[in-house]
Amino acid sequence: MRRRRVRLAAIGAIALGLGPGASSARADSPGSFQDNAGLRVTFGRAFVTGIDTALYERIELEAFSQVEASGGWVSGPMIGMIGGLEMWAGFEGSGGFGLPLGLNLGMRRTLLTGELPLQVFVLAGLGADTLMWDFAKSHTGFGLFAPYSTAGAGFDVAFVRLMVDATAQYRWQWGADDRFLFGLGGALGVHAPL
């Protein structure tokens, strides 16, 4: 009876991906998940309430999971977390900083395989600037959990990511007027499977 329980426990552990050799079996089977992580830098034009001309930049770490297709390259839905540091600056001495944290959902499709695989993707996300600070027109404001949304599309060439990025934020704060910020720009990143 005891041997039977041990065998059943071993079979269950392998089926759940907890036993020896289970991770290699999962990585080769279509429909399993592949985890990825990387670094991304985004730069673009910011349209800020009450500010004539501004630019924005974000440096972010992202981690996402995706359904793996046969051949080792992922294709299908993905979900991930992203967080980092952002900055916007106007040409008349205004600007701000924030610490965004968000959740992204998207889809990625493999177009070409080989030594330099090409994949196309789209994503959308929601999150918050967990901590933010703005200064404009002699007023300084501080805020917590200011909401934002983001959307993007682009290409992954091997482990390099090129994308177009759009973000919309409502920067509510104490000490200064609340502001709406819309950013449109490009991003360059690198990522790798974990």
> Which of these, 98, 66, 61, 99, lies nearest to 81 by C-alpha position?
61
Residue 18: what pLDDT?
41
| Residue 58 and residue 100 in contact, taking contact as beta carbons nearer than 8 Å | yes
Alpha carbon distance 128, 71 (integer Å) = 37
Instruction: Give the start-to-end residue ranges of the domains of the chain.
Output: 1-29, 31-193
Give the whole-angstrom CA distance, residue 128 versus residue 149: 8
pTM above 0.95, yes or no: no
The CA distance from 42 to 81, in Å, is: 16
Q: What is the pLDDT of residues 124-139, one digit of tens each?
A: 999 999 999 999 878 8
Residues in the chain: 194
Give the three-state DSSP class for 178: coil
Residue corresponding to tokens 């916007």: 88
pLDDT at 30: 55
Higher pLDDT, 82 or 5: 82
The answer to whether 99 and 65 are in contact (CB under 8 A) is no
Whether the Cβ atoms of residue 111 and residue 75 lie closer than 8 Å to each other: no
Encode pLDDT of 122-175 as tens digits: 999 999 999 999 998 788 999 999 999 999 999 999 899 999 999 999 999 999
The class of domain 31-193 in CATH terms is mainly beta
Task: Give the whole-angstrom CA distance, residue 161 versus residue 3.
Answer: 51
Vertex 94 angle, CA 90 and 96, to 5°: 95
